[in-house]
Amino acid sequence: MFQQEIEAMQGKVVQQFFSPAQLAKALGIGTTKLYQLFKLEDFPKPTTNPHFKNKYNFQEVKAWIYENEQ
């Protein structure tokens, strides 16, 4: 689903924590689809760090996508 897009971004992503809007853009999906993914029980949760409130770790999301595409 997103594997080709993520592979194309290899070496280009330097930011690790993304807001929902940034994450949707990085994955090439709309925010509606992203919020559907957020509702999945096993989708990575946002960080609990108060400095990065509601930010998602891109590496965790990428790993989740790889695991769930197989």
Domain architecture of the chain: domains with CATH: 3-69 (1.10.1660)
Asked if residues 47 and 10 have their Cβ atoms less than 8 Å apart, the reply is no
Hey, which residues does 18 pair with through a beta bridge? 56
pLDDT for residue 48? 78
Residue-wise pLDDT tens digits, 8-27: 566 555 678 999 999 999 99
Cα separation, 59 vs 70, whole angstroms = 17
How do beta strands 56-57 and 17-18 pair? antiparallel
Task: For residue 5, name the pLDDT band (cuts at 50, 70, 90).
Answer: low
Q: Report the candidate in 2, 64, 66 with the shortest Cα–Cα distance to residue 33.
A: 2
pTM of the prediction? 0.71
pLDDT for residue 7? 62
* Cα Dmax for the chain: 34
Residue-wise pLDDT tens digits, 27-69: 999 999 999 999 999 999 998 777 777 899 999 999 999 999 8
